[in-house]
């Protein structure tokens, strides 16, 4: 037998695969479906797939054609070049998965039936090298996808967006769940970059738009304010821990005074920053009209940019304040809880305003009392008040109309 010719048994298996795939595609063309087939294919016009194409797609001819070994190459996902889908529509000629780290980032480029990898430094020089690398491979139009991992990937995402590439910044939990659905057992930067690329190719996540410069600056100011609050509480706890050393107590007292001074300066700077931009100032005035929301809370809400969300529910879901049901069959009936799958800082920022709103906001006070009277736990009712505050904040920002309790009551009565 010729050394470059596959074994007859492999060829027979390949012929069976060709028949199954072509029958599947023909059945879909006629409006039929076959649940026994383990893959999905969606095509507008049916044409029989060539024998070598199928064998190569399944890795049967991988070694004989000089490609990667079949055991090291992942299977094609729905929407890949071998199995096009209606959802993808093949709009993007290239997909770029990016795994971000502090000093470098790994990329995986899916282009036609090729898979290419590289690593670049996470700085301006590495960004330019990546652009040249993509230009040499004619990877445009391109859909780049990376995880929302702190601020390590912000500069790269903004650079790619400025270069007219489509960029998606996705929740790491979505990538993790996608990897679990593919039964991925190994983890490395190279594999993570490929997984992100496969996710982008299959799921087509929404395009990301960089925040406005004033929003980005406000976000950093608010984040620093929260860090100072945590540091101040840590110093207070140490001073109250029964220290006997006069030197240590003197240093902690001086440190606490410095933090108090920085907190006061930062609060004034946040106020001045909002006043510098008419749009932010108008939004802050709308949020301040809601009883329970003060100046600092409104600044934290504006740092999130609530108007970018499609609905009030999406905004509440971003904070992890939407209810999560857990029922199955007739035996599993777990208590409804908030999802907590969202921004913990935003959720934390709504806690004290919700307590104030229970006393001074007629809508949230009535909501809290009704839920407690119906048997809900007080903390669950408080979470509902936090959810309600976010919905009210989203409403006044989207409508541009200040909060009016009487108007809201009329809507509730007519609903």
Q: Tell me the average pLDDT of the chain.
A: 81
pLDDT class of 40 with cuts at 50, 70, 90: very low
Give the homologous superfamily in CATH for domain 94-203: ATPase, nucleotide binding domain (3.30.420.40)
Straight-line distance from the first to the last Cα atom of the chain, in angstroms, rounded to the nearest whole number:
79
Distance CA 159, CA 170 (A): 17
Backbone angles phi, psi at 97, to 5 degrees: -95, 135
Domain chopping of the chain, boundaries = 8-72, 94-203, 211-276, 278-415
Average pLDDT over residues 391-404: 93
Residues 215-268: pLDDT tens digits?
Answer: 999 999 999 999 999 999 999 999 999 888 999 999 999 999 999 999 999 999
Both tokens of 45, joined, read 């016009």
Distance CA 40, CA 28 (A): 10
Q: Contact, 307 vs 397, CB < 8 A? A: yes
pLDDT of residue 49 exceeding 50: no
Tokens 């007859």 found at: 8
Residues 283-333: pLDDT tens digits?
Answer: 999 999 999 999 999 999 999 999 999 999 999 999 999 888 888 887 887
Backbone angles phi, psi at 328, to 5 degrees: -160, 125
Residues 182-217: pLDDT tens digits?
Answer: 999 999 999 999 999 999 999 999 999 999 999 999
328 DSSP β-pair partners = 332
Average pLDDT over residues 40-60: 40
């Amino acid at each position: 037998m010729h050394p470059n010719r596959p074994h007859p048994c492999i060829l027979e298996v390949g012929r069976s695969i060709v028949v199954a795939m072509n029958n599947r595609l023909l059945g879909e063309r006629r409006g039929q479906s076959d649940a026994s087939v383990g893959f999905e294919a969606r095509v507008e016009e049916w044409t029989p797939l060539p024998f070598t194409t199928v064998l190569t797609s399944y890795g049967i001819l991988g070694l004989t054609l000089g490609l990667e070994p079949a055991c090291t190459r992942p299977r094609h996902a729905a929407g890949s070049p071998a199995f096009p889908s209606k959802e993808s529509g093949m709009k993007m000629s290239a997909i770029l998965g990016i795994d971000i780290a502090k000093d470098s980032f790994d990329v995986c480029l899916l282009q036609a039936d090729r898979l290419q990898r590289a690593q670049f430094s996470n700085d301006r020089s590495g960004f330019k090298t990546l652009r040249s690398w993509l230009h040499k491979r004619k990877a445009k139009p391109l859909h780049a996808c990376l995880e929302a991992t702190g601020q390590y990937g912000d500069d790269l995402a903004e650079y790619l967006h400025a270069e007219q590439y489509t960029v998606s910044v996705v929740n790491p939990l979505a990538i993790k769940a996608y990897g679990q659905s593919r039964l991925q057992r190994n983890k490395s930067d190279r594999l993570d970059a490929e997984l992100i690329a496969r996710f982008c190719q299959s799921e087509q996540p929404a395009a990301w738009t960089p925040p406005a410069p004033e929003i980005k600056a406000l976000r950093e100011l608010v984040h620093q304010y929260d860090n100072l609050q945590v540091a101040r509480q840590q110093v207070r706890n140490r001073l109250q821990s029964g220290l006997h050393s006069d030197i240590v107590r003197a240093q902690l007292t001086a440190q606490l005074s410095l933090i108090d001074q920085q907190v006061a300066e930062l609060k004034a700077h946040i106020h001045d920053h909002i006043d510098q931009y008419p749009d932010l100032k108008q939004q802050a005035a709308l949020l301040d009209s809601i009883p329970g929301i003060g100046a600092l809370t409104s600044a934290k809400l504006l740092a999130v940019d609530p108007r970018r969300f499609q609905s009030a529910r999406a905004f509440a879901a971003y904070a992890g304040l939407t209810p999560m049901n857990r029922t199955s069959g007739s035996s599993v009936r777990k208590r409804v809880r908030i999802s907590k799958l969202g921004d913990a800082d935003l959720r934390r920022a709504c806690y004290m305003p919700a307590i104030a709103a229970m006393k001074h906001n007629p809508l949230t006070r009535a909501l809290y009392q009704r839920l407690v009277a119906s048997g809900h736990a007080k903390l669950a009712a408080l979470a509902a008040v936090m959810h309600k505050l976010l919905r009210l904040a989203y409403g006044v920002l989207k409508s541009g109309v200040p909060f009016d309790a009487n108007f809201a009551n009329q809507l509730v009565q007519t609903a």
